């Protein structure tokens, strides 16, 4: 399989699906002539033309409305937000329309739309541009929420999202765009929703995360292995649907768990996973569940303060050692 960067894998997924299905099109700010803020849509305007790679005005509510309406009419739009923090402008269109129209129409109207773009914290983008907001969308019934870690999964999950008849929130961590890995060049390669993957086998503690948090956990597991502590690292891949079977199976083996995320700890994905572990595997636990999360503050701009607000593999190592105390 060829090696490629994360954003190249995302582009390949969109390209293959647009070649396969003429109803698929891309829209968003600067996706065409500028070729995308992170160059994700580079070359797509030349390949598919302006009717299928649509530069929109600077209006997130307009992008969401255009994509939702097109999906209701039978097309399969892939709408890009320049950053998921900007999508707050479109929350009414997203939550009250895209997520609900199938339910409100009694199943008569499908809404096969993918909303995608860079998410996550870091890179000195400050309080209004550097936020992890996945729990907002996972909280709203009607959405499927996808947060891939690897380039391979970024391609396979995006193809599944484009083919899905439900609205999909697809969040790509900007800090992962540059990582490289092998990616399948099979145009039929898809990764199913709701199937977590064990990235590293272990027996002493389960590390549960998604997106860039998986990278953090893998580094922590490598550090801990030098002290004879073997951690199992689980990449959730999708938050809705959430694969608790894989999580519970791991916890039943290790009897300890650390849930790691970059978003705020208060009312978060980590809170939900911890609650479900207690509901489904309480008798297997030998220690309280530890949560590693971002500080409950608006993201600072100053680099030293930003570092203090973002969790690291060192925080995961400390959390594991607390569970083993």
Q: In degrees, to the nearest 5, what angle opens at C-alpha 26 toward C-alphas 165 and 57? A: 120
Q: What is the predicted pLDDT for the residue at 269?
A: 97
Q: What is the predicted pLDDT for the residue at 57?
A: 96
CA distance 50 to 27: 10
CA distance 210 to 194: 13
Domains 3-182 and 197-323 fall in the same CATH topology: yes
Tokens coding 148: 């891939």
**CATH assignment of 197-323?**
3.40.50.920
Question: Does the N-terminal peptide bond of residue 241 adopt cis geometry, omega within 30 degrees of 0?
Answer: yes
CA distance 27 to 65: 11
**Catalytic site includes residue 255:** no
**Nearest of 25, 90, 23 to residue 51 by alpha carbon:** 25
Collapse the DSSP code of 205 into the 3-class scheme (helix H, G, I; strand E, B; otherwise coil) and give the result: strand
**Which listed residue (16, 17, 29, 60) is catalytic?**
60
**Catalytic site includes residue 89:** no
C-beta of residue 98 within 8 angstroms of C-beta of residue 113: yes
CA distance 94 to 73: 16
Q: What is the predicted pLDDT for the residue at 279?
A: 98
**Which listed residue (17, 80, 129, 134) is catalytic?**
129
Q: What is the predicted pLDDT for the residue at 37?
A: 87
CA distance 76 to 307: 39
C-beta of residue 313 within 8 angstroms of C-beta of residue 216: yes
Beta sheet of 231-235, edge-to-edge order: 197-200, 231-235, 205-209, 257-264, 290-294
CA distance 40 to 125: 19
pLDDT per residue rounded down to tens, the chain (325 residues): 899 999 999 999 999 999 999 999 999 999 999 999 899 999 999 999 999 999 999 999 999 999 999 999 999 999 999 999 999 999 999 999 999 999 999 999 999 999 999 999 987 888 998 999 999 999 999 999 999 999 999 999 999 999 999 999 999 999 999 999 999 999 999 999 999 999 999 999 999 999 999 999 999 999 999 999 999 999 999 999 999 999 999 999 999 999 999 999 999 999 999 999 999 999 999 999 999 999 999 999 999 999 999 999 999 999 999 999 8
Give, in words, the CATH class of 3-182. alpha beta
CA distance 228 to 186: 40
What count of Cα atoms within 13 Å lies in the side-chain half-sphere of residue 104? 11
Q: Domain residues of the chain, as ranges?
A: 3-182, 197-323
């Amino acid at each position: 399989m060829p090696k490629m960067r994360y954003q190249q894998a995302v582009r390949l997924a969109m390209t293959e699906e647009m070649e396969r299905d003429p109803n698929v099109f891309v829209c968003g700010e600067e996706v065409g002539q500028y070729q995308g803020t992170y160059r994700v849509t580079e070359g797509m305007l030349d390949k598919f033309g302006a009717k299928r790679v649509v530069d929109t005005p600077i209006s997130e509510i307009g992008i969401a409305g255009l994509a939702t309406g097109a999906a209701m009419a039978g097309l399969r739009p892939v709408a890009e937000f320049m950053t998921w923090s900007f999508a707050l402008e479109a929350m009414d269109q997203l939550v009250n329309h895209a997520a609900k129209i199938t339910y409100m129409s009694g199943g008569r109207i499908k809404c096969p739309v993918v909303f995608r773009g860079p998410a996550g914290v870091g890179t000195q983008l400050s309080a209004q541009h550097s936020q992890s907001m996945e729990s907002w969308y996972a909280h709203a019934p009607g959405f499927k929420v996808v947060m891939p870690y690897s380039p391979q999964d970024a391609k396979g999950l995006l193809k599944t999202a484009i083919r899905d008849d439900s609205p999909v929130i697809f969040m790509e961590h900007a800090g992962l765009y540059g990582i490289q890995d092998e990616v399948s060049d099979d145009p039929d390669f898809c990764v199913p929703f709701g199937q977590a993957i064990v990235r590293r086998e272990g027996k002493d503690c389960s590390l549960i995360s998604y997106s860039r948090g998986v990278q953090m956990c893998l580094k922590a597991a490598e550090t801990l292995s030098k002290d004879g502590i073997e951690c199992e690292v689980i990449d959730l891949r999708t938050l809705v649907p959430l694969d608790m079977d894989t999580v519970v199976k791991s916890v039943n083996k290790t009897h300890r768990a650390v849930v790691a995320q970059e978003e705020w700890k208060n009312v978060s994905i980590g809170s939900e996973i911890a609650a479900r572990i207690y509901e489904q595997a309480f008798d297997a636990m030998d220690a309280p569940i530890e949560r590693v999360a971002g500080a409950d503050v608006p993201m600072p701009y100053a680099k030293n303060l930003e570092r203090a607000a973002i969790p690291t593999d060192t925080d995961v190592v400390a959390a594991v050692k607390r569970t083993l105390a």
